Amino acid sequence: MLKNDYEALAKECRPHYLKRIARHPFFGYIVLMILLIIVQLLHMFTDLISMTVSQAINTTMILAVAALGLGILLMMSGLLSLGTGSFIGLGTYIAGNLLKLLDLPFVFYLAVVAVAGVIIGVVVGVISLRAKGIHLMIVTMALSYIMYTMFVLPNPFTGGPSGLTQVPFPTLLFLFKTNRETMYFVVLAVTFLLIILTLNVINSTIGRAMLGMSQSESLAQAMGIHLLKYRVLAFVIATVYAMVSGALYIASIASSSPYTWTTTLAMNILVAVIIGGTAKPVGVIAGSFLMFCLDLAILDNIPFFANNPTAAVFFMGFLIILIVMKYPGGLMWMLTSLKQKTQTFFYMRRLKKYGPDES
């Protein structure tokens, strides 16, 4: 009778905006950033969150930046490097000396460090990437030891064994002088930008080429992929991320000791990436939080672990062994399988209650 089929039209056109927002690739990362900002605000204005937790999150985000780069190198291109720690160290020294010398916007330091990262990455990459797999690991390990020795040797650039200390905090846009607490937000912003950049790398021709290269070299060559070019590119990306992470470190912690920049740190970051199980930022960040943040931010707040510091180490070790044994594909695999299980659970419940869809 009535031509009020506009209801049907409305149903069709209804913008499922919440769903659409939730499906956006950046949604999860934005939620994470907002959560971390809330944590820091709670620390700054109330006593709910302690200094240790805020510091732990800050350091984790800084190391997660380096881990993102290593994720691209290891998980996308299949190249193993142990030089991450020393590249972070180099980043801290370059940025730290510049910060002592000049008072400029923070973006400037990041840009200088990134350019230095590109140059060093190309030089080191072109020389060392003729080796592959385990041999590349040995080459980068040797490089790491050389750089460590150079950091420790007394010289004005690195400050010798005592390292760089009392580095001033940078200013933002000539206006705001940052301090230890506000640098946290700068670190978050830079991390977020690099997460987006990583997603772009993964979802572009570069990412596909790297994956193809890591799976089969002959396939990659037949598809027109210049092997050395993409290997060096992956290495440069990893180096730039590590150096930017170093710049963030020196700007928010204000000191840099050469004893931090050893292969142990590189191995920790490597384990974080492997536990994450993917080059995707979600896995890398989950792995970094497990490796660098869990003990300081959560376990230390539990009285038992606070009283027995060794118990925390044992717990972490067992946790990592458990994850690696149960889910060899890493946390990403675990998250995916959990997601699938929940979806199946709800689907089965719905099926049991309402029967199959009528249509």
Partner 1 sequence: MALMNRNGAFKRIVGKRDKAYVQMEFNRNRVIVADAKLDKKHEKILRKQTLVARKRLYPLELAALSEAERSAALIERGMRAFDFKHSLRRRAVKQTYLNTVGKLGEAKAAENRDAANALLETRRAEYENTLKTRFKGADKTPAPKESAALYEQASKQEEARLSELTETLSRGKQSALNSLKAKLDAKNEKLRVRFDSADKQINAMSKVDKASFGDESVLNIQNLKMYFSGIKAVDDLSIDVRKGEIFGLIGPNGAGKTTVFNCITQFYKPNDGKIYYRDRFGSLVNLVDYNTHDIIKAGISRTFQNVELVYFLSVIENLLLGAHSIFSTGLAGQLLHSKTYKDEEAVCRVRAMELLDRLGIAAYAQSYPLGLPYGVLKKIELARTLMSNPKVIILDEPAAGLNEAETQELGEIILSIRDDFDCTVFLVEHDMNLVMGICDRVCAISFGKMLAIGTPVEIQNNPKVQEAYLGVG
CB of 352 to partner 1, least distance (A): 7
Total residues interacting with partner 1, rule: CB under 8 A:
40
> Using CB under 8 A, which residues numbered 9 to 28 contact partner 1?
9-10, 12-13
Question: Which residue's CB is nearer to partner 1, number 1 or number 48?
Answer: 1
Shortest CA distance to 121 belongs to which of 99, 97, 143? 143
Place of tokens 């190198």: 73
Report the 3 state secondary structure along the chain. Answer: CCCCCHHHHHHHHCCCHHHHHHHCCCHHHHHHHHHHHHHHHHHHHCCCCCHHHHHHHHHHHHHHHHHHHHHHHHHHCCCCCCCHHHHHHHHHHHHHHHHHHCCCEHHHHHHHHHHHHHHHHHHHHHHHCCCCHHHHHHHHHHHHHHHHHHHHCCCCCCCHHHCECCCCCCEECCCEECCHHHHHHHHHHHHHHHHHHHHHHHCCHHHHHHHHHHHCHHHHHHCCCCHHHHHHHHHHHHHHHHHHHHHHHHHHHCCECHHHCCHHHHHHHHHHHHHHCCCCHHHHHHHHHHHHHHHHHHHHHCHHHHHCHHHHHHHHHHHHHHHHHHCCCCHHHHHHHHHHHHHHHHHHHHHHHHCCCCC
Binding mask 191-230 for partner 1 (x = CB under 8 A): ------x--xx-xxxx-xx-xx--xx-xxxxxxxxxx---
Of 42 and 227, nearer to partner 1 (C-beta) is 227
Tokens of 23: 């499906």
Q: Which residues pair with 172 in a beta bridge?
A: 176
The nearest distance, CB 216 to partner 1, in angstroms, is 5
CB of 229 to partner 1, least distance (A): 9
CA–CA dist 174, 159 (Å, integer): 28
Residue 133 or 329: which CB sits closer to partner 1? 329
Q: How many residues does the chain have?
A: 359
Q: Which of residues 141-200 bind partner 1 (CB under 8 A)?
A: 197, 200
Query: What is the nearest approach in angstroms of partner 1 to the Cβ of residue 315?
Result: 33
- Cβ 19 to partner 1, closest distance in Å? 17
Q: Which is nearer to partner 1, 163 or 207 (CB)?
A: 207
Options 33-41, 104-112, 258-266, 348-356: segment touching partner 1 (CB under 8 A): 348-356
119 interacts with partner 1 by CB under 8 A? no
> From residue 226 to residue 255, what is the string marking binding to partner 1 with x (rule CB under 8 A)?
xx-----x----------------------
Q: Which residue in 45, 174, 310, 358 binds partner 1 (CB under 8 A)?
A: 358
Min separation Cβ 219 and partner 1, Å: 4
Query: Which CB sits closer to partner 1, 9 or 34?
Result: 9
Mode of pairing for the β-strands spanning 171-172 and 176-177? antiparallel
Considering the complex, state which of residue 180 and residue 208 has its C-beta at the smaller distance from partner 1.
208
Q: Work out whether 340 is an interface residue with partner 1 (CB under 8 A).
A: no
Task: Identify the residue among 2, 101, 134, 175 touching partner 1 (CB under 8 A).
Answer: 2
337 touching partner 1, by CB under 8 A: no
Residue 147 C-beta: closest distance to partner 1, Å: 27
Q: Please identify, using beta-carbon distances, which residue of 83 and 207 lies nearer to partner 1.
A: 207
Tokens 């003990």 found at: 295
Contact footprint for partner 1 (CB under 8 A): 1-7, 9-10, 12-13, 197, 200-201, 203-206, 208-209, 211-212, 215-216, 218-227, 233, 352-355, 358
